[in-house]
Amino acid sequence: MRLTVTEHTRRLEAYNRGLTDREAAQELGIGKTTFAVWRKYHGMEFNPEPLFDVGSRPKRERRIVRGFLSDLLRLCEQANRVPNETGITRFMNIWREGGVV
């Protein structure tokens, strides 16, 4: 079955927001495997599950921080660098408390 342009665009937008396969599938009302097959067919890497709990903040803010952390980890991997977990943990603790980093 061929996807409509609208459905393809909705999937692409979910992927670009950094949603995991599970999150995107749930939002789109499709199966996780269906989304993963679509993503792989289009040559896209998976968006990793968040490593840090950001559940207490507003949804939009959580998406931004998850995207930031995903990008940070991806760049570290591309540069063959190990992320500074102490710095990331400190950032997350301050952010969770609502402070300024």
63 lies in the same domain as 92: yes
Q: Helical H runs in the chain?
A: 5-16, 21-28, 32-41, 59-78, 85-96
Query: Is 84 or 42 the better-scoring residue by pLDDT?
Result: 42
Indicate the number of domains in the chain: 2
Number of residues that make up the chain: 101
- For 2-5, the CB contacts below 8 A with 24+ separation are 3/38
66 and 92 share one domain? yes
Q: Residue 52 falls within a domain, yes or no?
A: no
pLDDT tens digit sequence for 2-55: 889 999 999 999 998 888 899 999 999 999 999 999 999 999 988 877 665 556
- Nearest to 52, CA basis, from 89, 10, 18: 89
Rounded CA-CA distance 72/64 in Å is 12
Average pLDDT score over residue span 50-75 = 75
Show the domain range for 75.
59-96
- 101 in a structural domain: no
